[in-house]
Structure 1
Amino acid sequence: MKDINIQGIPIVVSKGNPYELGWQHGCAVPDKIKEEVELMLTLCEKNAGLGRNECLSIAGRFVPTIEKYNPDYLTEIQGIAEGAGLSFEEIIFLNARTEMLKLGNGTDRKDSISLKESGCTSIAVTGEVTKDGHTYVGQTWDNLHACLNTMIAHLVIPDSGTPSFFYVGEAGIISRMGMNSAGIGIGVNSLSTNGPVNFEGVPLQFVIRGVMDSANLAQAIESVTRMPNGAVNNIMIAYKDSEAVDVEIDHDNCECLYPVNSIITHTNHYEHPNRPHYPYYCIYTGSSIVRGGRSNKLMRLKMKEKGYLTTCDIKEVFTDHGNYPYSICVHCPNPEKELKFQHQTDCAFVCDLNDLTMDVAIGNPCKSGFIRISPFEDLV
């Protein structure tokens, strides 16, 4: 299976020490990494008025914090850069792209590319209510149509003793949403407030990597909470031992949400009553409210109807078109825009954290359908 794609996106396998992991990643998909860097630079220019040199300089302010969080991650970034034929600064910028794009929050530039429609719907279900007693986690990833061209499926096998992990996401990123071989899986949702980016905090992609390097749920939670974060975001973490927790990240702290009757869903707005804290307030769209409430309702209706849940139930929710086109399965709601800057569901996945399988759909899952992969068996 090493030489085939997943519904058209390339599979990358990286093994070894931090530099080797990065080098193999960069060498495998250099064109996709370069395209993703240029796309993010374009968005920063249009939305925040920042030129290329400004973007690289500003993103570089995160380096001391990343080094404190885990210096091996900077070594891996250097490997990605050299493997792809890019600069260290460009790959740092790419891995701080979440925070860099939030610098444009609240601006109203004439040629800006609105990211408000970009969102994700995350769902976790623990073993008390699943037919096979397994724990599941998954999400839709809603982003620009252009990101379909830069996606990869990536299996990372470190020689450091940390778990292997598998994710689907943009090329050149040190880690994205998926699962690890210890039975940890995550979904990620962007959040927005009127607050500042914290350049003394850890950028989201490195926090995600910290979770993926964790051997159990306690370590995973501490990977999110042990240092300040670079910007507001949400990480849903599930674990094979019938556990799940959702961590809402604020500017200087975090709060946790727990499943209600073994089901939890999350979209792109805060749900904990203590976050965000004054003087900051949550900025969200009606789509997030609808997707959050609807995904929760649909999962509970399925549970009430059958008395148990399966991965098929989550996959069905991820294809839902209620409130179309601003639905859980998003369909380019702004056709007047250039296609690459329209928003849609770019992928969806559901992980079984006990069997360590992932059901993946590239693009709108209602069209592409899901395929199952066992990455720690099929790709090794």
Structure 2
Amino acid sequence: MLILSFFFRSIVSNIVDQCYIPALKKFYPAGFDELRGIAEGAGLPVEDIVMLNARYDLARIMYRMQNGGQEPRNGHHRPQEDDVANECTSVYFYPEAMTNGHAIAAQNWDMSDHLYNHDLCIYLEIHPDPSEDRPSMFCLTEAGQLIRTGMNSAGLAVTANSLLSSEDYVPISYTDTDGVFHDIAPKLVLPLTLARRIFLDYRLYSEGLVAINAIPRHVSGNLHVSTGEGFGMALEVSPNRIYKVYGNVDDNYVVHTNHWAHLGFLAHDNAIDRSPGGSTWFRWQRVEKGIRKYRHGQLTLELIKKAFSDHLSYPESLCSHPNFKQKNTPSNALTGYTSRMGMTVAFVMYDLTENSITCCKGGPCTGVLQKFMLLDGC
């Protein structure tokens, strides 16, 4: 959960009013209408709902408002500045990997445990009016947000992973915590989370990719985008570039966690991965270990679930659980790390061949799986 101090509230309000809302009206009016509908139903100002949908973005720029607005000398940050730095493991499985020949997109969604404890994770089914000529959608999300992950009836799916980059920036003038004023003309940018919903507005994979590339943004993130036609990739998105991570052709799967993988980004002198490390550095390899020997036509949904239930470094594992006992001493100044209340709040497998969704709330190790079918139209 993004908790704002008084210092940040006015800055956030200005970003919502002068950057996000004008950009929504110009670039994504249908999405803005939906956000207004949520606000009306909840009896809240639309600005609050826009801020909720932009929480990911806002959490990633708060470090810019400190240290005189400069990148910390070692390129890193204190983990508490980004309360969701380690979140989500995504894999796309090619049809050649599965015993049933289906294309599968799977994800552990890791987030603050308050979403699970307060039953804020929801399954959202969307059937646009026929006049809109858009596919139906199934979205796994949280109350008040348009999407976290999802698939559409055209067989497209998107899962996502947090990424942190030194290219992330504040899109408006602000005064940092040292009292230094940064004069920036307001830039019309969209919350990156909404790129996931925009992708699902399309029936053609290529058109969805064009839309993602065109979205004005000011923070980084990974979009795992796939199609039931048998292709998927990870798009490592920064404010200025998109890096394509395809995986090895013979692997029949594409994995991503929460650190940058593309050599084009890692070789950049003026761009730094701000990931604090931790579980992202082994979750990638652990999920691969669970699936790799089955990758040539032997994988089943049960084996995928088992791979995503891995508990190395429990409770901060691939299948993540709240770490109630982790308390570092005040002298642990290297990380500033004191506790972690994150967990796998949901697990999902999107079958893009038969347009079905198998998912559970909570981690795959104990969650009760349910299956839903997604039909085109009402």
Q: Give TM-score, length-normalised by structure 2.
A: 0.81
Structure-1 residue corresponding to 2:336: none
Among the aligned pairs, what percent are the same residue?
26
Q: Do structure 1's residue 151 and structure 2's residue 121 form an aligned pair?
A: yes
Structure-2 residue corresponding to 1:347: 346
Aligned residues: 332
The change in CA–CA distance for 1:275 and 1:67 in structure 2 (over 3 A counts) is farther
Shift of 1:348: 0.7
CA contact (8 A) 1:248 1:255 kept: yes
> SS at the partner of 2:83?
coil
Structure-2 residue corresponding to 1:278: 269
Unaligned stretches of 5+ in structure 1? 1-38
Shift of 1:139: 0.5
Q: Within 2, Cα distance between the matches of 1:330 and 1:111?
A: 17
CA contact (8 A) 2:222 2:235 kept: yes
> SS at the partner of 1:367?
coil
5 Å-filtered alignment, 1:1-380, equals 39-40=1-2, 43-45=3-5, 49-51=7-9, 53-60=10-17, 61-105=19-63, 112=80, 115=83, 118-148=86-116, 149=118, 150-159=120-129, 160-197=132-169, 199=171, 200=187, 201-260=189-248, 261=250, 262-275=252-265, 277-284=268-275, 285-303=277-295, 307-335=297-325, 342-376=341-375
Q: Within 1, Cα distance between the matches of 2:35 and 2:84?
A: 29
Q: Within 2, Cα distance between the matches of 1:163 and 1:352?
A: 16
CA contact (8 A) 1:166 1:178 kept: yes
Q: Within 1, Cα distance between the matches of 2:78 and 2:234?
A: 36
Counterpart residue identity of residue 221, structure 2? N
Q: Within 2, Cα distance between the matches of 1:156 and 1:174?
A: 10
Counterpart residue identity of residue 356, structure 1? N
Per-residue CA distance 1:2-49 (angstroms, 9 max, x = gap): xxxxxxxxxxxxxxxxxxxxxxxxxxxxxxxxxxxxx53xx2339xx5
> SS at the partner of 1:275?
helix
CA contact (8 A) 1:211 1:224 kept: yes
- Whichever of the two has the greater Rg, that structure is 2
CA contact (8 A) 2:79 2:85 kept: no
> SS at the partner of 1:99?
helix
Per-residue CA distance 1:79-117 (angstroms, 9 max, x = gap): 111111000111111111111111224769999575255
Shift of 1:367: 1.4
Higher RCO by CA contacts (8 Å cutoff, separation 6 or greater): 2
Per-residue CA distance 1:328-369 (angstroms, 9 max, x = gap): 1011124358xx971111011001111111111101221123
CA contact (8 A) 1:250 1:275 kept: no
> SS at the partner of 2:224?
strand
The change in CA–CA distance for 1:111 and 1:168 in structure 2 (over 3 A counts) is closer
CA contact (8 A) 1:228 1:252 kept: no
Q: Within 2, Cα distance between the matches of 1:135 and 1:198?
A: 38
Counterpart residue identity of residue 194, structure 1? S
> SS at the partner of 1:187?
strand
The change in CA–CA distance for 1:242 and 1:326 in structure 2 (over 3 A counts) is same
Q: Give TM-score, length-normalised by structure 1.
A: 0.80
Shift of 1:216: 2.0
> SS at the partner of 2:239?
coil
Shift of 1:129: 2.2
